[in-house]
Structure 1
Amino acid sequence: MDFSDPQMQTYVMVGAVVLGVIILMLWSVLRASSRSADQVAMMAQRVDQLATGQAQLDGNMATLAQSQGQIGTLVEQRLGEVQINMHENLAKVQRGTGENLAKMQQQMADNLGAQQLKLQENLANMQLRTNQSLADLQEKLNQSLMGNAKQTATSLTQLQERLATIDKAQENITKLSGDVLSLQDILSNKQTRGAFGEIQLNDIVGKALPTDSYALQVTLSNGKRADCLIHLPNPPGPIVIDSKFPLEAYEAMLASTSEAELKAGIQMFKTSVRKHIKDISEKYVIEGETADGALMFLPSEAIYAELHAKFPDLVREGFEARVWIVSPTTCMATLNTMRAILKDARMREQAGEIRKALKNLHRDVEIVGERAGKLETHLRQAGEDVAGILTASSRASKRAHKLDNFDFEEMAPEADNVVPLAKQPGE
C-alpha cells in the first residue's frame, strides 16, 4: 500500500474517524449500562421500602378495624342512651303539654264566660243607648217639624213684607218716571231749564262758599244781570258764573238720524256755543269792575265730557275768550280754590289786628312773669317762715319728751328742802 497516495490518505483518515466514533459509542454504552445498574439498585431499595410500608399499612388496617369495632360498640351504647333520654323527655313534654292544655282550656273557659258577661252588658247598654237615641231623634224630629212650620210661617210673612216692599218700589218707580218726565219737560223749556241750572248752581255755590262771599242775580254797571258773582279780592277781582247753556242744539245733534242731520246738528251746536261764549265775554267781563274772565256753568257732566271729547276747539276758543267751561264737579273744585283765596285774603286783611293782639298778648305774658316772680319771693319767704316754725316745733317737742321721761321719785329725799306753799285764809 502506498500511503503517499492522497486517496489512500483519505481512506485512512475516514477509517480513523469511523473508528473513533465507534470507540465513543462503545464508551457511551458502557457508561449508560453502569448508570442502569445504579438505577436498578435504587429501584430495589424502593421496592423493599414499599414492602415495609405495605406491612405497616396492613398493621394499621388491622388496628383501624379493631378501632371501628370499638367505635361501633360505643355508638350503639350512645344511641341506646339517647333513645332512653328521648323517651323520657318525650314523656315529660307530653305531661307538660297535657297540663298546659288543661290550663289553657280552663283559661279559655273563664275568658269565654267573662266575655259573655261583658257582651251581655254591652248589649244591654247598647239597647239603652239605642232607645235613648231613638227618643232624642224623635224629639228632634218633632222640634224640627215645629221649627219648620214656624220658619215656613215666618218665611211667608217675610215674603208678604217683601211683596209689599216691591209694591212700594213699583209705586216709587212710577213716581220717579213721572219725575223724569217732569224733568224732561223742564229741560225742554228754555226758561225752566235756565231756572233749573240756576238752582243747581246756587246749591253748589252755597255748599262751597260762605254766604258773604257771593251774590246771586246781581245787576252789573252795563245793565246785564249775572246769575252769580263771586267777590274775589284783586287780583283777579269779582268773577261771574253764568248758568245758561244752549241745550236745544245739543239735543238736535243727538236726535239726528242721518249724516246730513248730524253735520247740521254739529254745526248748529258749535255756532250756539261760540255765540254763548262771546255773549259771556262781552256781558260779564268788565274792566275795572269784574275779573278778566268768567265761568260758563254746564248743569250736565255728560255734556261737559262730550264737549271736551269731541269739540276741543270750542274749549280752546273759550280759553282764548277767557271763558272757562265748568261742570258741577269741576265747578265745586274751582269754588274750593276760590274759598282758599278768600280765606287767605281775609287773613291778610286781619294781619294788623292779629299783630296787635299778639303784642297785647306778649305784654300780658310779661305781666304774668313779673307777678309770678313776686309770688315766688313771697312763697320763698313763707317757706323760710315755715322752716323756722318747724325748727321751733321740733325743739319744743324734744323738750316735752325730756319732761315726759323725767323721774320724780328719784327726787323724793329732797322733798324736805321744798318750801311749802303758804296756806290761804280759810283753809
Structure 2
Amino acid sequence: MEPSNALNQTFFQLGATSVSVGAALVAAAAVMLLVIIIACVIVQRSAKARLIAEIQAEDRARDAEARMSEILKSQAEMQGRMQTMAELFGSRQSELNQSIRERLDGMTVRIGNTMTEQTKSTHENLARLQERLAVIDTAQNNIQSLAGQVVQLQAILANKQTRGAFGQARMEAIIADGLPQGAYEFQATLSNGSRPDCLVRMPNGAPSLVIDAKFPLEAWNAIRAAESAEEKRDAASRFKRDLEVHIRDVADKYLLNGETQDTAFLFVPSESIFGEIHENFEAIVQRAHRSRIVIVSPSLLMLSIQVIQAVLKDVRMREQAHLIQKEVVRLMEDVGRLDDRVRKLQGHFGQASKDIDDILVSSSKVTKRGQKIEALELAEAPADSAAVETSRSAASATGQLRLRVVEGDD
C-alpha cells in the first residue's frame, strides 16, 4: 500500500466527520509542538523568576550590610557622645567644687571681718567705760581730800580780800572734781545778759541748773563780831535784809523759763554758817524755798553734784548700752543671715549631689546598653526572608537604643 493511501485512510470517525491518519498525525504534531512551546515558556519564566530572586537576594544582602554599617557607625557615635558626656560631667563637677570653695572662702572672710569689727568695737566701748569709772574714782578721792580741808574755812574767811574768791573757788573745785568737762560752764551768759557763777548742763536736753556763790559774808561776820544784844539784833536784821535781797536777785536774774531749771542753788562755803542759818533764820530759809532757791553747803553741793554725776553716768551708760545692744542685734542679724545662707548652700549641695547621682545612673545605663550592643554577634544573613527579618529587628533595636539614649541625655 502506498504511503499516501495509508495517510488518507480514516483513522477515526468524529460524528459526521472522518479524521484521516495524516490529519491525526498533523494534529498530534501540532499538539506536541504546542506542548514544547509551553514547556519552553515555563522554563524561561522559571529562569527569569530565579534571576529576579537572585537579584532581590543580592539587594537584601546589600541592604543588610548597609544597615549593619549604620549600626556600627551609630555605636561609634554613641561611644563618642558618652566620652564627651563624661568629660563634660568631670569639668562641671570641678567647676562646681571650685565655685563652692570660693563661696565658702568668701563667707569665711566676711564672717571673720565682721567678728573682728564687732570685737574691736566692744573692746573700745569697754575701754571707754573703764576710763569713765577711773575718772569717777579720781573725783571721789578728790572729794575726800577736799572734805579734809573744810576745817581751814574759818581762817580763810577771816581775810576779807580772799573771802569772796574762796567761795567761788570752793564751788568751782567741787564742780570741776565732780562733773566731766562739758557738763558745766563757769560765768556763762544767759539770754537776759546775766552771768551766774556756774551753769550745770543737765542731760536729755533739760534746762541747765544755776549755782550762785555770792553769799553776803560781811553781814554774817558782823553778827559774829557783835558784843551786845542790840548789836546782834542790828547785825541780824542787816544779814536778813541782805540775804533776802540776794535771794530776790538770784530768782529774778537766773530763773528763766525753758532756759534754766525752776530751782537755783545758793552756795554757802561753810558748814557752820549753813547750820546757823537753818537754826536761827528759819524765815530766810522759807523765803528762799518760796523763791525756789536752795541754800546748800559744801557737803550738800557735793552730794547734789554726785546725784547729777550719777544721772549723767546713767544717761551715758544707757547710750553705751543702746550702742552695745544695737551692735549685738546687728551681730545676731548677721548670724541669722549666715544661718540662712548656710542652709541654702546645704540645699544647693543636696540638689547638686542628687543631680550628679541621676547623671551617674543615666550614664551607667547608657554604658551598659552600649556594652550590650557591642557584645551582639551578627552572622551573615541568608538570601531569604530570614535576612529581611534580621534587618528589621536590627533597625528596630537601633531605633529603640537611640530613643533610650536621647531619654538618658534628657
Question: Which TM class, normalised by the smaller chain length?
Answer: 0.3 to 0.5
**Structure of larger gyration radius:** 1
TM-score if structure 1 supplies the norm length? 0.41
Greater relative contact order (Cα 8 A, min sep 6): structure 1 or 2?
A: 2
Q: TM-score, normalised by structure 2?
A: 0.43
